[in-house]
Amino acid sequence: MPSEARNLRRIRCLNMSSEGNVTMKTVTYLEAMREAMDEELARDETVFLLGEDIGPQGGVFGSTRGLLEKYGPRRVRQTPISECAIIGAACGASLVGTRPVAEIMYFDFVAIGMDQIFSQVGKLRYMSNGQMTLPLVIRTQCGGGRGKGPQHSSSTEAWFVHSPGIKVAMPSTPGDVKGLLKTAIRDDAPVLFIENSFLYNTKGEVSEEECLIPFGQADVKREGTDVTIVATSAMVQLALVAAESLKELDISAEVIDPRTLVPLDMDTILRSVAKTNRAVIVHEAFTRCGVGAEIAARLMEEAYDDLDAPVARVGGLEVPMPFAQSLEEQVMPSVTKIVKQARAVCYR
């Protein structure tokens, strides 16, 4: 049976079929993302895209393929190779009434525009007492597993979770990426929208009708009773595989995807831990000072009496991502590592 959270998500679709059910289709993560941008460009003429190679090439991963031909160079703007210029221009454009969607090719390159993001994008609404709005989306993609090397594989979402004024989304499925990206584009606050290229070719259900997913609403991807696994981005897929392996060990794992890190839906996580009494948090970023540390701290503060074992974390090793596949596998979280931690908290 679908989880309560999944049912709530589907109820939020604005148009229903004649039978009262949402019509679903199966598409890839990349296709769902492109559909979201296409629909928002068609719906609102103030929306426009900007970034490197997003024009005739359609983006380095194909995320904007066909949109230049459909909307023209004013709405799909190919930029010079300058991340600080992309983010600076997008910030300025958002302040004068447009809704830019800026693509930064790799998460590592976001660091080049960090001054604009940290000092301007995240603070201008506060500095103006809300008189300025910044309806700006910064799209980028994170993570290893594809041999991209140390300068193209970072997962530094915690930087921005720790930066006030910026919302942070990390969708793990085609349905989530479409619903959350449409919500992000319509938001009057700046959003860092973090994809994962490892997910681009994965397939899943997406509504045929208009469907928005609110920020701050986690999704229970799998229900369970013995241990709660909170996972982000591509790690959700690993967590689901690990849950199947744990089933063979008579351990019932519940898998929760926060979907957005700012705002963070702690209520769903707390309800799950109150039921399972154990928690494992999985993300690709370094364990030290990662988002898992914040969730673990919140669990200790707000669910101490519910816990029958210490909160466990599974994260990447604290080294730059290697290029060699064999070394990548050692550095990144894995199904085996998740299963090991889940068994440890269940059999203390």
Catalytic site positions: 83, 152
- Cis peptide, bond prior to residue 263, ω within 30 of zero: yes
Residue 112 Cα distances to 15, 121, 141, 190, 222, angstroms: 42, 14, 15, 18, 38
Helix (H, G, I), strand (E, B), or coil: what is residue 197? Answer: helix
Roughly what angle, to the nearest 10 degrees, separates helices 291-302 and 266-276?
60
Enter the DSSP assignment of 321. Answer: P
Helix (H, G, I), strand (E, B), or coil: what is residue 339? Answer: helix
**Residue 302 exposed, middle or buried by CB count within 10 Å (0-12, 13-18, 19+):** middle
Tokens encoding 294: 């914040």
Q: Are 165 and 126 in contact (CB under 8 A)?
A: yes
Per-position b or e across 266-297, b if 16+ CB within 10 A of its CB: bebbbbbbeebbbbbbbbbbbbeebbbbbbbe
Neighbouring C-beta atoms of residue 164, cutoff 10 Å:
12
Roughly what angle, to the nearest 10 degrees, separates helices 335-346 and 235-247?
50
Q: Are 47 and 40 in contact (CB under 8 A)?
A: yes
